[in-house]
Amino acid sequence: MIDSNANILLIYTGGTIGMVENSETGSLEAFNFSHLTSHIPELQRLNFTINTIVFDPVIDSSDVSTKHWVDLVKIIEDNYHSHDGFVILHGTDTMAFTASALSFMLENLNKPVVLTGAQLPIGKLRTDAKENLITAMEIAADKDITGSPIVPEVCIFFQNYLFRGNRTTKANADNFNAFRSYNYPYLAKSGIHIRYDRNNILPLPEKKVKFHYQMDSHIAILKLFPGINKLVVDSVLQTKNLKAVILETYGSGNAPRIPWFIDALKDAVKRGLLVVNITQCAEGSVEMQRYETGRELLKAGVISGFDLTVEAAITKLMFLIGHRYSKEEITVRMRVPLVGEITRLDEREI
């Protein structure tokens, strides 16, 4: 039920949705917000109040940094009590990272924060922007019969599907259905009606909302490939001030058993580095006990990221390291869900 007294805050950060073509170069450039609203007069027909905040300058999401996440949390904190829900317009390229980061930074969230964007600019005839934006606004204003928000979590709405933000990945650079949530079912599907699957949506938290601002980005991703060079591995693992490495492994969390590689990992772990195992497969999870090639990693002290996306793993590490938890505490917290980003131990099939 859409709450007609709702106040929704629309935050425009940039992205294709509001871009226009540079007539000289032909490339897309960020444009101002009035361009967007003039192309969606329907926004004025939504029967609730919409307030807007525009990033200055608006950015292509490839330029997003932890500073922008902090800015978003500040905007949401400053406007939290005066608004019922939030819609963030964001470029698609790094939207899954921002959604994952916000899911950790907005603890005990009890209002919807819906990210959306578009694959085609708003001015194009076949644009997907209009549908994405209007439905995202409706979801942000939707309440159940008790008056509680239906989706009190950070999510991404794109091309008819609402996904949990920290389970989402951009999987297609061309198609309108750009996002996937491989390891968790969707939260809602929009057609003639918006159909929510409430079993998949986080319950309202009992504790008070808490806004977090510390993110530590001394993290690297090391993606394995057959023939990977020792010099490259060593230079990543020995990067000055590095605190964590995400090891992107094969299949169910497997890596070469060659001694120099295992020794380099053991040495990194001994030096205090957190090494988290994430599979290169889009779907499924890390099970290091399954093959000898995974057991070696386990023995070396590598932490299982189970079914985390890379986006969720990196932002969760930034969040936990930013909060100065000990290595032991981070190891424990990486394995359990903070906000539904990883399948719970007691729900895993293995």
Judged by CB under 6 A, which of 50, 85, 92, 184 binds ligand ASP? 92
CB of 117 to ligand ASP, least distance (A): 5
Taking CB under 6 A as the criterion, the residue among 9, 15, 164, 342 binding ligand ASP is 15
Nearest distance from residue 206's CB to ligand ASP, in Å?
A: 36
Cβ nearer to ligand ASP, comparing 55 with 306:
55
- Piece of 9-17, 70-78, 80-88, 317-325 that binds ligand ASP (CB under 6 A): 9-17
Tokens of 180: 């996937």
Residues 30-69 interacting with ligand ASP (rule: CB under 6 A)? 60-62
Find residue 52's DSSP bridge partners: 10
What residues have CB less than 8 Å from 34, skipping those under 6 apart? none
Residue pair 187/201 in contact (Cβ under 8 Å)? The answer is: yes
> C-alpha distances in angstroms, 35 versus 24, 40, 41, 138?
19, 9, 11, 21
User: CB neighbours (10 Å) of residue 197?
Assistant: 12
Choosing from 16, 116, 166, 190, the residue that interacts with ligand ASP (CB under 6 A) is 16
Phi/psi for 66 (5° steps) reads -60, -25
Beta bridge partners of 219: 244
For residue 60, the minimal CB distance to ligand ASP (Å) is 4
Does 91 bind ligand ASP (CB under 6 A)? Our answer is yes
- Provide the token pair at 221: 């991703």
Least distance from C-beta 178 to ligand ASP, angstroms?
Answer: 7
In the complex, which residue's CB is closest to ligand ASP?
A: 91
- Within the chain, residue ranges assigned H as helices are 33-39, 66-79, 95-105, 129-141, 230-237, 259-270, 292-300, 310-322, 327-334
Could you tell me which residues are beta bridge partners of residue 11? 53, 88
Whole-angstrom distance, CA of residue 164 vs CA of residue 187? 7
Footprint of ligand ASP on residues 311-350 (CB under 6 A)? none
Query: What is the Cα–Cα distance from 343 to 45, expressed in whole angstroms?
Result: 40
Nearer to ligand ASP by C-beta: 120 or 228?
Answer: 120
Distance (Å, whole) CA 9 – CA 56: 16
Q: Which is nearer to ligand ASP, 117 or 340 (CB)?
A: 117
> Residue 185: is it exposed, middle or buried by C-beta count within 10 angstroms (0-12/13-18/19+)?
exposed
Letters for 98-137 (x = contact with ligand ASP by CB under 6 A, - = none) are: -------------------x-x------------------
Residue with Cβ nearer ligand ASP (13 or 183): 13
Which residue, 60 or 77, is less far from ligand ASP as judged by CB?
60
Give the total of residues touching ligand ASP (CB under 6 A): 11
Our separate counts of H helices and E strands in the chain read 9, 18
Stretch binding ligand ASP (CB under 6 A), from 71-79, 89-97, 138-146, 187-195: 89-97
Please indicate whether residue 92 is annotated as part of the active site: no
* Piece in contact with ligand ASP (CB under 6 A), picked from 74-82, 91-99, 122-130, 229-237: 91-99
DSSP letter for 42, please: G
Q: Kindly state the smallest distance separating residue 95's Cβ from ligand ASP, in Å.
A: 7
Angle of the 66-79 helix axis to the 95-105 helix axis, nearest 10: 50
**From the CB of 310, what's the least distance to ligand ASP, in Å?**
17
Q: Which is nearer to ligand ASP, 50 or 115 (CB)?
A: 115
Question: Which of 84, 89, 93, 247 is the binder for ligand ASP (CB under 6 A)?
Answer: 93
Residue of 298, 303, 310, 311 lying closest to 333 (CA atoms): 303
Binding footprint of ligand ASP on the chain (CB under 6 A) = 14-16, 60-62, 91-93, 117, 119
Catalytic residues, which ones?
16
